[in-house]
A = this chain, B = another copy of it.
Amino acid sequence: MSTISIIGAGNMAAAIGTRAAQHGYKVEFMSRDAVKAEALARQVGGAATVGEFGARPAGDIVIVAVLYASAVDVVKRFGDALEGKILVDITNPFNADGSGLVTSAGDSVTEQLAAVAPASAHVVKAFNMLFRGVVADGKPVDVFFAGSSAEARGRVATFLESLDMRPVDAGGIELAHALEWAGLLLVGLARNGSGFDLALSAAVR
Q: Which residue on chain B has the smallest CB distance to residue A129? A: B185
With A100-B177, A178-B184, A182-B185 known to touch, is A192 a contact of B205 (CB < 8 Å)?
no
In contact, B178 and A146 (Cβ under 8 angstroms): no
Of A24-32, A51-59, A115-123, A165-173, the segment with at least 4 beta carbons within 8 Å of chain B is A165-173
Complex Cα distance, B176 from A184, in Å, reads 11
Interface stretch (choices A67-75, A77-85, A196-204): A196-204
CB neighbours of A189 from chain B (8 A): 144, 168-171, 202
Bound: A118/B188 CA distance, A: 27
In the complex, chain B residues whose CB is within 8 Å of the CB of A182: 178, 181-182, 185
Q: Decide: A99 near B181, CB < 8 A? Known: A188-B146, A203-B201.
A: no
A194 touches B174 (CB 8 A): no
Q: Could you tell me which A residues sit within 8 Å of B by CB distance?
A: 99-101, 104-106, 134, 137, 139, 141, 144, 146, 168-171, 174-175, 177-182, 184-185, 188-189, 191-195, 197-205
Besides the contacts A171-B191, A180-B181, A182-B185, what 7 more A-B pairs have beta carbons closer than 8 Å?
A104-B104, A169-B189, A170-B185, A170-B189, A175-B188, A181-B185, A198-B205
